[in-house]
């Protein structure tokens, strides 16, 4: 499982780094004003659907169903089932895209009620309609990615999303040279979103393999209805972090620039969340499904234990690092062009509070596969909806006194509400199996992360005096040195506490290449 995890995480890391480059250029083009708020509200709608489909949601529902059909009916039956799923989802998304386009003013008003009655609403509606073709393309791409994951072919699905960001970066780099108005830039970027989706789908179609989903047809028979009934709650549950951000944006839309600040802050939280969360949804679900079907308790305990170790081992140091280095990271990535120093301060404050949600999000990503493997998609959905309601209620209260910072705190409250709901339900229904190694390693991982965080805090206190007035490249190098030193220190503490040896790490990386 470590090999597959590293493969998926490497692809996700590359995609997230390109995403940072994309958002850095986006901040320079649009800043954090009304045009940026409108564009990001529209982009958030597309992002939620994209994440709902691509980042573990549909995968979580399709993989167990496809494996069950293959075990009971053979390869041909599994291919026919996949063909019906692919055809039906593609048809449904095309129809949904057309309906959403017609109702877009109402949709944006619901998602961003603060825009109502102003020109920002029309900006958002126009941008969202230009982005909509992506939604029709995301469905078939996701089905093929899930089928490849079920067959253990993780590399293509891990790296194909890179094309989405590469296309957007190329267009935005051109816009930087041409320097059109912010409104024109937003519309051109919005139109590029659909083209980027087409590139990703084309790669998957060309490399899909023989008879992976044949024959292709639309069907609403009993088997497909049962699959869709299980898939919809699972997809909603897997998109819990994005739903929380949407909940925050609903409240933030009434405050100028707040949508932009929260968006850029959340992008930084999504880097570690994406690395762990996508890999959990992609790798852990097939592993747990096989173990549960075989009634192999030892294999279930091994999968759950390694998943929890990896989740805590990556999420905890990332949380501490983002809190300590929030301001210099935001300044380096986004403070260019139309994005001002005041925007940096507001985004950094929001990031510090949003980061408190990261461990909870990762726990949700690590715990949800235990339910999905048992084809229980309702429990994670109920937990997700509970968190969203809690976040909206908290945001309405806290935003009156603390503005965007209060909304960020509310998102964190909602995330922990989800996590505790899953922990309580899982412990009550089937219990979580943690082996002896995990019980030994987890406290040591936490101590290693805390030690790293303390050293980073000391380094961060002297960083402003070292880089004050320095060239941007020098500031970037200094910040990267501090981050690299923190990662190295964390690794040394893990080694000193006996969590992992150098040979284990090197072997895992070598297996990724093999």
> Closest Cα to residue 10, out of 268, 224, 282?
282
* Run of H or E including 511: helix 502-513
Question: Which pLDDT score is estimated for 286?
Answer: 65
Please give the Cα distance from 284 to 184 (Å, whole number).
43
Question: Which pLDDT score is estimated for 73?
Answer: 86
| Cβ–Cβ under 8 Å, residues 124 and 159 | no
Q: Which of 84-88, 102-106, 232-236, 329-333 has the highest mean pLDDT?
A: 102-106
CA distances from 40 to 127, 131, 197, 214, 240 (A): 9, 11, 18, 38, 19
Question: Which pLDDT score is estimated for 42?
Answer: 92
Mean pLDDT over 383-389 rounds to 92
Please give the Cα distance from 326 to 248 (Å, whole number).
20
Q: Where are the alpha helices (DSSP H) in 280-433?
A: 285-293, 297-324, 326-334, 341-354, 358-372, 378-429
Please give the Cα distance from 428 to 399 (Å, whole number).
35
First and final C-alpha spacing in the chain:
14
Question: Which pLDDT score is estimated for 292?
Answer: 74
Please give the Cα distance from 47 to 131 (Å, whole number).
10
Question: Which pLDDT score is estimated for 56?
Answer: 52
- Using one digit for the tens of pLDDT, what is the confidence trace for 449-499? 999 999 999 888 877 666 666 666 777 888 888 999 999 999 899 989 888
- Using one digit for the tens of pLDDT, what is the confidence trace for 40-63? 999 988 877 777 766 555 766 677
Mean pLDDT over 246-258 rounds to 89
Question: Which pLDDT score is estimated for 66?
Answer: 83
| Cβ–Cβ under 8 Å, residues 452 and 320 | yes
| Cβ–Cβ under 8 Å, residues 359 and 315 | yes
Mean pLDDT over 381-401 rounds to 92
Cα–chain-centroid distance for residue 68?
27
Tokens, residue 281: 């949804």
| Cβ–Cβ under 8 Å, residues 452 and 294 | no
- Give the list of residues 6+ apart from residue 273 with CB closer than 8 angstroms, or none: 241, 315, 358, 361, 362, 365
Please give the Cα distance from 81 to 66 (Å, whole number).
7
pLDDT bracket for residue 398 (50, 70, 90): very high
> Closest Cα to residue 197, out of 153, 142, 150?
142
- Using one digit for the tens of pLDDT, what is the confidence trace for 327-382? 989 988 898 888 999 999 999 999 999 999 999 988 888 787 778 777 787 888 89
Question: Which pLDDT score is estimated for 510?
Answer: 44
DSSP category for residue 432: -
pLDDT bracket for residue 513 (50, 70, 90): very low
| Cβ–Cβ under 8 Å, residues 3 and 508 | yes
Please give the Cα distance from 274 to 106 (Å, whole number).
31
HSE of 112 in the Cβ direction (CA atoms, 13 Å)? 33
Please give the Cα distance from 156 to 206 (Å, whole number).
11
Tokens, residue 383: 């937990």
Percent of the chain scoring above 90 in pLDDT: 35
Q: 484 burial class (0-12, 13-18, 19+ CB within 10 angstroms)?
A: exposed
Q: 268 burial class (0-12, 13-18, 19+ CB within 10 angstroms)?
A: buried
DSSP category for residue 374: T
Tokens, residue 413: 């409250």
DSSP category for residue 213: S
pLDDT bracket for residue 154 (50, 70, 90): low
| Cβ–Cβ under 8 Å, residues 169 and 25 | yes
Question: Which pLDDT score is estimated for 502?
Answer: 45
Q: Which of 204-208, 218-222, 402-406 has the highest mean pLDDT?
A: 402-406
Please give the Cα distance from 127 to 129 (Å, whole number).
6
pTM, entire model = 0.81
Please give the Cα distance from 182 to 179 (Å, whole number).
9
HSE of 463 in the Cβ direction (CA atoms, 13 Å)? 24
| Cβ–Cβ under 8 Å, residues 244 and 19 | no
Q: Is the pLDDT of residue 72 over 90?
A: no
Q: Which of 162-171, 410-419, 457-466 has the highest mean pLDDT?
A: 410-419
């Amino acid at each position: 499982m470590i090999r597959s995890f590293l493969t998926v995480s490497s692809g996700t890391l590359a995609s997230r780094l390109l995403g940072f480059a994309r958002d850095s250029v986006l901040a320079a083009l649009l800043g954090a004003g009304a045009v940026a708020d409108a564009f990001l509200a529209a982009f958030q709608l597309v992002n939620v659907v994209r994440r709902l489909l691509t980042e573990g949601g549909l995968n979580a529902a399709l993989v167990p169903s496809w494996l069950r059909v293959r075990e009971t009916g053979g390869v041909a039956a599994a291919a026919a089932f996949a063909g019906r799923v692919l055809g039906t989802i593609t048809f449904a998304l095309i129809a949904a895209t057309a309906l959403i386009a017609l109702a877009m003013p109402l949709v944006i008003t619901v998602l961003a009620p603060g825009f109502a009655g102003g020109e920002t609403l029309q900006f958002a509606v126009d941008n969202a309609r230009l982005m909509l073709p992506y939604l029709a393309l995301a469905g078939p791409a996701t089905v093929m990615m899930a089928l490849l994951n079920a067959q253990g072919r993780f590399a293509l699905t891990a790296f194909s999303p890179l094309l989405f960001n590469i296309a957007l970066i190329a267009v935005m780099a051109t816009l930087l040279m041409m320097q059109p108005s912010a409104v024109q830039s937003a519309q051109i970027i919005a139109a590029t979103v659909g083209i980027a989706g087409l590139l990703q789908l084309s790669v998957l179609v060309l490399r899909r393999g023989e008879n992976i989903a044949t024959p292709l047809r639309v069907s609403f028979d009993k088997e497909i209805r049962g699959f869709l009934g299980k898939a919809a709650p699972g997809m909603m549950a897997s998109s819990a972090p994005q739903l929380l951000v949407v909940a925050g944006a609903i409240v933030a839309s009434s405050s100028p620039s707040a949508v932009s600040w929260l968006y850029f802050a959340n992008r930084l939280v999504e880097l570690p969340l994406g690395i762990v969360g996508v890999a959990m949804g992609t790798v852990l679900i097939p592993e747990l499904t096989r173990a549960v079907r075989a009634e192999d308790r030892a294999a279930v305990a091994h999968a759950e234990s390694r998943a929890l170790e990896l989740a805590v081992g990556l999420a905890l140091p990332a949380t501490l690092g983002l809190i300590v280095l929030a301001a210099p990271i935001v300044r380096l990535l986004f403070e260019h062009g139309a994005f001002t120093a005041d925007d940096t301060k507001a985004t950094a404050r929001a990031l510090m509070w949003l980061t408190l949600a990261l461990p909870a999000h990762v726990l949700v990503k690590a715990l949800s596969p235990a339910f999905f493997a048992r084809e229980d998609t309702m429990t994670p959905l109920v937990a997700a909806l509970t968190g969203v309601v809690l976040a909206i209620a908290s945001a309405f209260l806290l935003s009156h006194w603390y503005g965007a910072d209060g909304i960020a705190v509310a998102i964190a409250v909602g995330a922990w509400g989800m996590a505790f709901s899953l922990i309580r339900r899982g412990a009550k229904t089937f219990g979580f199996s943690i082996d002896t190694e995990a019980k030994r390693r987890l406290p040591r991982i936490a101590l290693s992360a805390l030690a790293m965080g303390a050293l980073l805090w000391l380094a961060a206190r002297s960083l402003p005096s070292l880089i004050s007035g320095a060239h941007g490249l020098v500031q970037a190098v200094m910040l990267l040195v501090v981050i690299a030193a923190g990662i190295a220190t964390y690794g040394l503490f893990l080694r000193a506490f006996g969590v992992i040896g150098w040979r284990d790490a090197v072997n895992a990386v070598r297996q990724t290449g093999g």
